[in-house]
């Protein structure tokens, strides 16, 4: 879902189920089921509303949230964490996010704002 007057740079990849806030200027890839907002947007979390509307059970959403937290809370590079996580992931939606990150892209990724 893409909000009104959002700008998306050419060649940016937007994953399935992602939501882009209105007036956002997206210049980096957005992970599947991600939510980005702001003029120079940062990843603000998962698109929980979209996941619920798809009928994804709460237990599965909890698994996706835990993977999101693990992916973005580590100290090592995101692609290295994704490579490590994909070895142990059994959840199809988590695997989709990890495969998206590990696939070829010439762009960086929208990431959460640093604290």
Q: What are phi and psi of 88, to 5 degrees?
A: -110, 0
Kindly indicate the confidence band of residue 40, based on its pLDDT and cuts at 50, 70 and 90.
confident
Q: Where are the domains of the chain?
A: 7-102
Q: How confident is the model over 13-33, as a mean pLDDT?
A: 97
Kindly indicate the confidence band of residue 60, based on its pLDDT and cuts at 50, 70 and 90.
very high
The per-residue pLDDT for 75 is 83
Is the confidence at residue 87, as pLDDT, over 70? yes
């Amino acid at each position: 879902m893409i909000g009104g007057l959002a700008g998306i740079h050419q060649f940016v990849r937007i994953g399935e189920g992602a939501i882009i806030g209105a007036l956002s200027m997206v210049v980096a890839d957005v992970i599947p089921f991600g939510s980005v907002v702001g003029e120079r947007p940062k990843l603000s979390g998962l698109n929980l509303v979209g996941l619920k509307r798809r009928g994804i059970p709460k237990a599965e959403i909890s698994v996706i949230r835990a993977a999101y937290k693990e992916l973005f809370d580590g100290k090592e590079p995101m692609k290295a964490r994704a490579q490590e996580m994909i070895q142990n992931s059994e959840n199809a939606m988590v695997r989709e996010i990890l495969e998206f990150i590990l696939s070829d892209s010439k762009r960086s990724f929208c990431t959460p704002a640093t604290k």
